A and B are shown apart, each in its own frame.
Chain A
């Protein structure tokens, strides 16, 4: 009997049986797996979605024939897509890659939207971005105009004579001095940009440097010379926290989103090893390149 087990033929048969049994077991499982993989499901929900898309575009629901056509089309598309993936056509395809990256990006963006800021945090943010939120400086002034087209070379001398005589309380619109000015004489709490739109940017910059209290000038514009009486100047100021709170929250969200993106990319850079050709290294900065532009 011992000899029986020593027979090479028996060894061979036994080994064959074992191999066969194992193969059978394994093969069974592979069959099941590949069946699952090769299954193309079309759910009622998907058909509903097809119907809705149709209705939105055509303004009416599809009839049975049209619906059958759509479902057949969808099935064909799905089959082609599956087959394409199996042949690895999705690799090295710019569009597929870009779309996947975009989907991931949206996910990152969405998760950043969830957090809520604290009040202190917002106040600090307002302070550190005061220029962005401040109300521009404003000026109240009146002017008397000396028309260069009409007065020619005498314009400056005429203006200087008037400067000595102009009453401190007078406004440009009622003054007997100078010439008519077709646009405005009196400007009330006006920002630099609005002054510039009447007199030009250079005049607007200069008038904000004129000390208030008495007639000054003459200041030059594209039209001629102007004596100016500044009565009030308000510097640029930070608005009330409550009035800009929504805007500050928007800025905070922007920053959060940027930061969470940066964190996410840092994580990805740790997860993946980026290997570059020597010539590429100079083209890529460290994480800086992955940071969003500061808006």
Chain B
């Protein structure tokens, strides 16, 4: 394997060099072979005004780019079966801000365009649905295929979809009808996907990535990953996606990593993988014991996972995956859009013991444990959110939510239908679907290369929909006044590392401090508070966590137990409105870890909470004039999770 070069911002060096030169001259006043320059000359040479833009000459990102790394179109067989008719081309047009007609026939447009999009259709059965719809001869020759074709054409698409998904999960889709790499149907669908991305990609304005989803789902346990190419068609079209079905594919992530390495070797390109929905993996997403072998995670696993999986999709429509209330009983905000009834098809119930291996925070913690043991942290991932929408429409706004599948595009009944229901009686209702999320990326430019590189260095954060602006820097040299400067980001980059970065070798007696700032979505709700979540590996070898409220709106005072009172609630559920009369537009602070031990591994990430706003279900009730099932939540507190900054003790 080729060594992978992680681009680092070398600002510190830049600043050091540019200030050191004039200082040397001023100190002894002479230069070899030259007479000492007078002060004016020196000023002219060095003190010339910096460029108009304070960002010019400083190669750091000025604004976050918002996008979706996980969107399905009709090319995904389940999406097609649920009624999606939009193609990758349509998906990119919509993401760029065009008004289009959704599969359900309704007109739809985003409030604001996205900056980037990855159409990530399932690699297994790529293009299956267009074939099924068209009644391709191969499909019609197979009893299963014929049955589904007839179901879809007789208005039983959703039932067909469920059957297809369940059969896919069990690996019982007839081999004769599943398009596999190497066949014309498969190759055509992949070419079409690449072509759509190439046409929509508009460097500087809108980035359309080539990508796909590798959907490892054995026995309904979700180990899905999205694969994102840094490259264009010339490289991506040299290969066909990796699938999970034997003999060409595999459901083991280790084989995916081999495929990724082979792609890079063959084409000289670059590719990364983002896993999602650990909450539906039933204890398999962040394992200590590998489910495939029953053996403890080893060094090879750790090295490869860390290399290929730099980000995790911590929030999306099938539930939020940051934290779970059982794992974080002291975190009052941990129970957010929780899906914990079972695995993806509810074929196996959830056991509490599984949770530790499913949620991002717990994964980050166990990563420290494994790093201590193996020398590499396999779960050293940054955070993003994405939709996983199966409609071709990347919608995560509460008031413009087009649902998880085309059957869930706005209609009066959509809240009251079961999303998944199994004979045992377990059910996930459609009102439980979450209007979430987007990926925020601190890229220097809106291009495939710049965004991909920012993902690779984990300079990203997840939002559950709103486009709040979040900065997070860690370092040992910050001072109180740094949070008061006019451009905190410049201080952040020059004196510390941004989100996704590393701190090590704490100077004697110094604790790390964190410069954290958030600005509300320019057309969204005010902010409630910023929290910093710390996880660490204790002296006794057990992993620990603590959530700190670090800055909040108004004059609230924490009580004796340290609990900050709630921000309040202005939501009028009936009218589906709220006001920005509580909370605040911006929050910034410098927070120093009060409990730092330089000998212990730790990570820190920021969580930013908005004030309560109407949940998508409230907008539905208001618009359709219907009643929601009584347990349906009507408000939400949207939020952002930054990538962590890790502290590793020096050798």
User: Which A residues form the contact surface with B (CB < 8 A)?
Assistant: 53, 56-59, 94-95, 98-99, 102, 147-149, 171, 173-174, 180, 182-186, 188, 191, 193-194, 196-201, 203, 221-224
Contact = CB atoms under 8 A, between A and B. Distances in A.
Contacts of A99: 134, 137
Contacts of A147: 585-586
Contacts of B523: 200-201, 222
Contacts of A95: 134-135, 137, 140
A223 B585 contact: yes
Interface of B: 52-56, 62-63, 66, 97, 111-113, 115, 134-135, 137, 140, 180, 182-183, 205, 247-248, 467, 469, 471, 484-488, 517-524, 584-586, 588
Given A59-B247, A182-B471, A222-B524, A197 B585 contact: no
A183 B63 contact: yes
A173 B113 contact: no
6 contacts: A57-B180, A99-B134, A201-B112, A221-B522, A222-B522, A222-B524
Nearest to B526: A149
Given A182-B469, A222-B522, A173 B182 contact: no
A208 to B, nearest CB: 16
User: Which A-B residue pairs are the 6 nearest by beta carbons?
Assistant: A56-B182, A200-B522, A95-B135, A222-B522, A182-B519, A200-B523
Contacts of B183: 53, 56-57
Given A57-B183, A99-B137, A223-B586, A183 B519 contact: yes
Nearest to B488: A182
A197 B182 contact: no
Nearest to B489: A182
B112 A196 contact: yes
B173 to A, nearest CB: 15
A194 B111 CA distance: 14
Contacts of A173: 54, 486-487
A184 B62 contact: yes
Contacts, number: 94
B538 to A, nearest CB: 35
Contacts of A198: 63, 522
Contacts of B469: 182-183
B182 A180 contact: no
Given A180-B486, A193-B97, A200-B523, 18 more contacts: A95-B134, A147-B585, A149-B585, A149-B586, A173-B486, A174-B486, A182-B471, A182-B518, A183-B62, A184-B55, A186-B52, A188-B53, A193-B113, A197-B522, A198-B63, A201-B111, A221-B522, A222-B521
Given A173-B54, A186-B52, A197 B588 contact: no
Given A58-B247, A149-B585, A223-B586, A197 B52 contact: no
A149 B584 contact: yes
A68 to B, nearest CB: 19
Q: Is the contact region of chain B dominated by helix, strand, or loop, or is it mixed?
A: loop
A98 B205 contact: no
A184 B52 contact: no
A197 B112 contact: yes
B146 to A, nearest CB: 10
Given A184-B62, A222-B523, A197 B467 contact: yes
Given A182-B586, A223-B519, A197 B63 contact: yes
Nearest to A224: B585
B471 A186 contact: no
B52 A171 contact: yes
B112 A182 contact: no
Contact of B135 (A58, A94, A191): A94
Contacts of A57: 180, 182-183
A177 B584 CA distance: 21
A10 to B, nearest CB: 62
A188 B140 CA distance: 59
Nearest to A199: B522
Contacts of B62: 183-184
A70 B130 CA distance: 27
B234 to A, nearest CB: 15
A289 to B, nearest CB: 18
Contacts of B205: 191, 193
Contacts of A223: 519-520, 522, 585-586
A200 B519 CA distance: 13
Contacts of A185: 54, 486-487
Contacts of B521: 222
A201 B524 CA distance: 12
A58 B183 CA distance: 11
Contacts of A149: 584-586
A194 B522 contact: no
B517 A182 contact: yes
Contacts of B522: 196-200, 203, 221-223
B250 to A, nearest CB: 13
B62, B140, B520, B588 pick with most chain A CB within 10 angstroms? B62
B63 A194 contact: yes
A235 to B, nearest CB: 17
Nearest to B176: A57
A95 B136 CA distance: 8
A99 B183 CA distance: 18
B585 A98 contact: no
Contacts of B55: 184, 186
Contacts of A199: 522
A58, A149, A193 pick with most chain B CB within 10 angstroms? A149
A186 B54 contact: yes
A106 to B, nearest CB: 12
A183 B55 CA distance: 12
Contact of A182 (B54, B97, B134, B588): B588
A74 to B, nearest CB: 13
Contacts of A194: 63
